[in-house]
Amino acid sequence: MKVFITRRIPQEGMKILSQAGVCKVSLWDSDEPVPRAELLKGVEGAHGLLCLLSDKIDTEVLDAAGPNLKVISTLSVGFDHMAIDEIKKRGVRVGYTPDVLTDATAELTVALLLATARRLPEGVVEVKNGGWSTWKPLWLCGYGLSGSTVGVIGLGRIGMAIARRLKPFGVKRLLYSGRTAKSYAAEVEGEYVPLDTLVSESDFVVVSCALTPETQGLCNKDFFSKMKNTAVFINTSRGAVVNQEDLYQALSSGQIACAGLDVTTPEPLPTDHPLLTLKNCVVLPHIGSATYSTRGIMAELSANNLLAGLQGTDMPSELKF
């Protein structure tokens, strides 16, 4: 069986595929994205496709692959880059990588939140450029978690892992919103509240929901206008959940205090993007799951998902549509 892999992936995954001896693998052997034309050529007649979140898997790709295609395995937990309805219609199975990246992503979210709220990137720059003249009582002050209200939008696997990590910092109230209340929220004394309540009462708003048609553009002008002027906004879900023009206005006008983003639209964010001119906006290059061990385990899981899809057996992590 023929398999196409759209990028270099950690060797842990490649080893599993080569040792299985059930498929002939062709790989876009680069750390850079596969050009669209090469993707369309590479998937021709493939039985399996191992892709990344940066590959748009739409009707054109599925048509190019043709009727052999049995499985698409994505090296991500997010699946907003795939045309799920069309994939389902064609009876193609999908594997993804939930759980194994939850801890790494929650850790990064906490790091980003603290770096943003306590202005770490600004401080590092001041040390290097000579702006550190003396200890000053009013200089580089930020916001602390102790006694605060944190609002988590999307208390799923990652949202809950973030909440668990933030609570011991002395968070007083943990609010969350989503489509349904969660019984497991009791562990962090989470209060299920309407989105408006979360937005207006939180000192820290953390976005960790999936990108769906309902969450696209959720954080817009109206949303930011309800936040406190002292509030910190953090997004580690997907860039498209945020209207970036509205975020820029909110940050530059002082409507909100600061923002930390691990995800943007587009990715990479152009270096001349207005958000990058703001001192109160910290932007990271989508590194939520980027620990060596997590990426290795993600590669293993996506290889095993792919093999199961090729062989028609149970997948370790199959996306149930």
Binding site for ligand NDP (CB under 6 A): 77-78, 98, 101, 105, 153-159, 177-180, 208-212, 214-215, 236-238, 262-263, 286, 288-289
Give the C-alpha separation, 309 to 72, whole Å.
Answer: 8
Tokens coding 276: 């990058």
Cα separation of 284 and 43, whole Å? 32
Binding to ligand DGY (CB under 6 A): which residues in 46-65? Answer: 53
- Direct distance between the N- and C-terminal alpha carbons of the chain, in angstroms, rounded to an integer: 25
Q: Judged by CB under 6 A, which of 6, 76, 243, 302 binds ligand DGY?
A: 76
- Alpha-carbon Rg for the chain in angstroms: 21
Q: Is 273 noted as a catalytic residue in this protein?
A: no
The answer to the question of residue 288 lying near ligand DGY (CB under 6 A) is yes
Choose among ligand NDP, ligand DGY, none what residue 148 binds, the Cβ cut-off being 5 to 8 Å by kind: none
* Tokens read off for 285: 């290059």
- The smaller minimum CB distance to ligand DGY, of residues 256 and 306, is found at 306
Determine, following the binding rule CB under 6 A, whether residue 159 of this chain makes contact with ligand DGY.
no
Q: Considering beta carbons, is residue 53 or 261 the nearer one to ligand DGY? A: 53
User: CA-to-CA distance for 203 and 206, rounded, in angstroms?
Assistant: 10
CB count, 10 Å around CB of 149? 19
Which listed range, 72-80, 184-192, 199-207, 276-284, lies at the site for ligand DGY (CB under 6 A)? Answer: 72-80
Which of ligand DGY, ligand NDP, none is residue 70 near (CB under 5 to 8 Å by kind)? none
Q: Are 208 and 237 in contact, with CB atoms under 8 Å apart?
A: yes
33 binds ligand DGY (CB under 6 A): no
Are 251 and 276 contacting, i.e. CB atoms less than 8 angstroms apart?
A: no
Instruction: Decide if residue 102 touches ligand DGY (CB under 6 A).
Output: no
The answer to whether residue 39 forms part of the interface with ligand DGY (CB under 6 A) is no
| CA atoms of 98 and 102, how far apart (whole Å) | 7
> Which SS3 state, helix, strand or coil, does residue 24 take?
strand
**CA–CA separation, 93 and 74 (whole Å):** 11
Catalytic residue among 47, 81, 273, 286: 286
Query: Hey, is 210 helix, strand or coil?
Result: coil
> Based on CB atoms, which residue is closest to ligand DGY, 199 or 218?
218
CB closest to ligand NDP, residue no: 156
- 154 sits near ligand DGY (criterion: CB under 6 A): no
Name the DSSP class of 6. S
**Binder of residue 106, out of ligand NDP, ligand DGY, none (CB less than 5 to 8 A by kind):** none
Q: For residues 141 and 302, what is the distance between their CA atoms, to the nearest angstrom? A: 44
Q: Of 109, 289, 305, 317, which lies in the binding site for ligand DGY, with binding defined by CB under 6 A?
A: 289
Residues annotated as part of the active site: 286
- Kindly list the residues in this chain that would bind ligand DGY in the complex (CB under 6 A): 53, 76-78, 101, 288-289
